[in-house]
Structure 1
């Protein structure tokens, strides 16, 4: 039997994944069959997940280009722009003219291979290929922390990226789980909190960066029933929602005073503060700023949302390619905004559910909502036909007979997203063009006198011509990512959150610039600053603002081939995960003007391939430090637009080494041995003395918690493979803030 006689799925699922990268590339050159097989997009998508912990594909509608991303993800870059308050851009030394906001992408220095990026109300969270979380900005931006405070305080700021060292909580002092680091696979951010999923499908909550909480409950983590496995965590403005495999949704309000969860969490934090331990002050480990976290376990009792309606219309006629064998309609994706959720079913139905006491009134708590739904005095999930039914979409004015734009004849929404008071539903490969997309946007509204939520539909004509695969929403701006790696933004200026360039340097009338000559003149003279008008049409974001000008090119910048992998937006800021298709472009430092030049170390081109690190050692235990009193949360208040950069100096990290050593020697500091790391330097003025070992759950000791939760075939052969796997579509070009403050 020849190797080509094996079933294709056997080769893709078992043979190819067992090969190292050089062997895989060599196999691809042996025949046309293996060349096509080794270029299979599904295979490279799975390889990205296995080798690099790359799970951002769940948030995009990308259907191709995974091999290109695999090549470039070895040396990714993180860019941020927009409001610079609270240190949320992750860079220090900004020139005076950019203190309030940077209107173009600036590069963040992170000593890690970042594979996912999300944005919070005043912060960014990033996930690396080892499943570790990096944070910067402030989790809660409406307050200040003292210099001696640690990251047990939600208002403690990090002006540059800090890595969270998170271990599993221990139910007793001898529990070995407390020495096991957590590998995270997905992140989500709310306004002043964040949540994550780990590799065991446990849900985690962060109301401060120094004290992560593992949510334990048989409802959300039933190891005996695979249908109860969590598949998504999604943070809304002030809540966290969770979706399991069977389509059930759970909601928890961690910052709402009326909730039992908040009382339990506050009692645990108070006990930690009184014990004089677990302050979570930052330390330096081999050039990285690290936050040694104290993990807690709380037996959460989230609100179980009502099931979706059982009389949803049949949408299969609008999508002839849909799988007819899927008889059961279930939720497969959720998006969370300000006290509302949107949901997407496997059949393309888009629904919404109101989590308030009715319209604009404030949330009344989970018990009140549970009673309302039990007695049917309030509707549960509401079907949104204007975002689901192609016949309803055709009625949009953009498809008027005199517009010349053809409406789609078939449609199946595949992705949704929500933030603050907006949401979007989108899909790619519409009937009008195989490389176009349909993006539907809605803004939360209420209907009097019932106060039910409605979402008037908006369609942007220019996005119909692009293959949009992801869309993220800020408070007053939007960002859309195309399959070719281009990024488009539009909306209000929001201190530069559009990232279209410095208005002073842009031509009059350019997107992101001034529309009146007098405003441009006084801004250039430095006499005053006028806020540029918003941008109504999606406009492309450039990443060449910091590229050093080349004298050999007549003082022009060398063209840069940047490919955006994913985008994050929230508040008044935006970020992007980017790979450089050139691989050798020199950029000025984040200091922007008059600073040193940052260059890629290897100087290799994009064609240089290196396998990912295998068996990378994960960090071990960490010292725990003295706690401090907390600062109360001020929920649902307008943002404080002040600059609260953390005052301490930050170690400048060296460039990222793509070839980490195999077994770093274990070393220790004067305080505590840190397995797998160099000397640890105490930060933030915390005192010395041997650290106390972690000793929890406190939830069990105090009687408030619970036990820590653990949680069609392809025919064989070449002849069958080729007609079912046509050549992949072309890859990228060049390759075979906050409420009320801006309304």
Structure 2
């Protein structure tokens, strides 16, 4: 038997995952067959997760995983926007800037390789390739804290990145406005109301003994938490109110009395958190209704024959967005608090966000002057939500981006931005009033309100008139330069515009953005330099 007689599945599924990358590359240089095998996108996607803890949930990327694997050896963290609450993680900021930094500025975290970056209401959370969790800013900036207080106080600011010492490696993080959820390597759900005292939800509803009790996604809404299980069930709870909020407050007060659970930050920027278990059951929301068969999705017969089930959720202000394996988009609410939760509430099917015929009939695609055409097939594969906005989108060169909000119902038409369509968008981060879109070729586009520089398009007074992020008239520019009260807020940006990562004294070569995040009035991105070659 010759080596080429071995089925390709054996190489990709059994042998390559165990081999050193350099050995796989050496094999790829021996023949065209092995060159093709060693360039397999799924193999490199799996290696990105296995070797760097970079999960496929980060983006909707479909190609370029080998180059991304190379770049993940030396990723760089950039942030911009409001400087309030220490959220930019830098003690020293560029001179001449007041309320915020309007362009990307690098945050360095020594000894770490950051592969995931998530923005909270007034903070950032990052995960490195080992599963360590880093935080900076303020989890809850609604009140001040004392320098003498530890991170058991939710108002405590981390002016620089701090690592939280967790029991197990962290896989994913999701941030609400004033709280954070994390899913660890053991599929345990952690909730942070303060960075010093995270609690694990201890319940048989999440014991991982069946698909119904095994979580696959933890998603923070504006003020509630939600969990999606393997079976497609959704659980919800409120970390600061209701029964779980009551238990938390009692245990938090008891730890205050003990006096040994303050989680003081160390000189080397470590938060020795006091992790504990909260025994309570979340609420289970009703399952999705029977849904119509979607036409022109491009799905195979095998995929179409599978049972319809929820595979993703996205949470925002008092509502949930759900996505099925067939491409149905649904909305659920009201989830403002435990008392308002109604077990008779049902998911609303959003046909105008799901069906090709409905999307193609949208005025944006029927305007002959706009020159915008809908694809011949459509399957929504990803959703994002934050504050009052949600997005449902497909992927590939004909990607369609559909936007809605908390008021969207079964009859609502999506908002369609022509400049975002057919752009190979792989991620859509959302802030309070500013938004972004990341493309497969590493370009980050932003639009919306200035929000203390959260668009990242540059210093308004240094941009040419009419440039996105700048002023529209000479009078505005002069007023801003001469004002003693601070710069005039530039006009909102309607058309998605590119962010550049070459500011500062050492701009370097062309940058490739592979992940982006936004919340509140700030934005962040993970970037690699394409001109620098790192060996595999």
TM-score normalized with structure 1 length: 0.70
Deviations, residues 57-93 of structure 1 (Å, cap 9, x unaligned)? 2142110011111001111100000001001011121
Q: In 2, Cα distance between the equivalents of 1:467 and 1:348?
A: 18
Partner of 1:466: 423
1:261 and 2:244 aligned: yes
Aligned match for 1:240, one of 225, 232, 238: 225
Aligned match for 1:386, one of 334, 352, 357: 352
SS at match of 2:513: strand
Partner of 2:448: 491
- 8 Å contact 1:79–1:578 — kept in the other structure? yes
Deviation (angstroms), 1:38: 0.8
Partner of 2:461: 504
1:568 and 2:517 aligned: yes
Deviation (angstroms), 1:317: 4.0
Q: In 2, Cα distance between the equivalents of 1:569 and 1:220?
A: 29
Partner of 2:499: 541
Partner of 2:404: 442
Deviation (angstroms), 1:197: 0.5
Partner of 1:207: 193
Q: In 2, Cα distance between the equivalents of 1:504 and 1:2?
A: 68
Partner of 2:368: 402
1:282 and 2:265 aligned: yes
Aligned residues: 533
- 8 Å contact 1:437–1:468 — kept in the other structure? yes
Q: In 2, Cα distance between the equivalents of 1:60 and 1:105?
A: 20
- 8 Å contact 1:217–1:301 — kept in the other structure? yes
- 8 Å contact 2:136–2:159 — kept in the other structure? yes
Aligned match for 1:307, one of 277, 283, 287: 287
Deviations, residues 455-500 of structure 1 (Å, cap 9, x unaligned)? 5411111112411011011000111000000000000000000000
- 8 Å contact 2:327–2:354 — kept in the other structure? yes
- 8 Å contact 2:317–2:406 — kept in the other structure? no
Deviations, residues 192-229 of structure 1 (Å, cap 9, x unaligned)? 000011111111100000111111111122x3214531
SS at match of 1:118: strand
1:132 and 2:132 aligned: yes
- 8 Å contact 1:164–1:209 — kept in the other structure? yes
Q: In 2, Cα distance between the equivalents of 1:522 and 1:368?
A: 49
Deviation (angstroms), 1:254: 0.7
The structure with the largest alpha-carbon Rg is 1
Q: Show the 5 A alignment for 1:547-586.
A: 547-548=505-506, 560-583=509-532
Q: Show the 5 A alignment for 1:144-293.
A: 144-167=144-167, 182-221=168-207, 223-256=208-241, 259-284=242-267, 288-293=268-273
Distance 1:295 1:463, change over 3 A: same
Distance 1:141 1:438, change over 3 A: same
Deviations, residues 284-324 of structure 1 (Å, cap 9, x unaligned)? 3xxx41000111101131110101002x1100444354644
Q: In 2, Cα distance between the equivalents of 1:465 and 1:508?
A: 29
- 8 Å contact 1:444–1:455 — kept in the other structure? no
Deviations, residues 543-570 of structure 1 (Å, cap 9, x unaligned)? 011243xxxxxxxx66x21111111100
Q: In 2, Cα distance between the equivalents of 1:16 and 1:327?
A: 30
Deviations, residues 570-592 of structure 1 (Å, cap 9, x unaligned)? 00000001111123xxxxxxxxx
Partner of 1:67: 66
Runs of 5+ in structure 1 lacking a partner? Answer: 168-181, 357-362, 430-434, 447-451, 549-556, 584-605, 611-743
- 8 Å contact 1:152–1:278 — kept in the other structure? yes
Q: In 1, Cα distance between the equivalents of 2:22 and 2:296?
A: 46
Q: In 1, Cα distance between the equivalents of 2:72 and 2:161?
A: 19
Greater relative CO, 1 or 2 (CA 8 Å, sep 6+): 1
Q: Show the 5 A alignment for 1:474-489.
A: 474-489=431-446
Aligned match for 2:306, one of 317, 327, 338: 327
Partner of 1:109: 108
Deviation (angstroms), 1:51: 0.7
Distance 1:93 1:322, change over 3 A: farther
Partner of 1:423: 390
Q: In 2, Cα distance between the equivalents of 1:24 and 1:336?
A: 41
Aligned match for 2:489, one of 505, 524, 531: 531
Partner of 2:338: 366
Q: In 2, Cα distance between the equivalents of 1:184 and 1:220?
A: 17
Partner of 1:44: 44
- 8 Å contact 2:510–2:529 — kept in the other structure? yes
Aligned match for 2:323, one of 320, 325, 344: 344
Deviation (angstroms), 1:411: 0.5
Distance 1:401 1:533, change over 3 A: closer
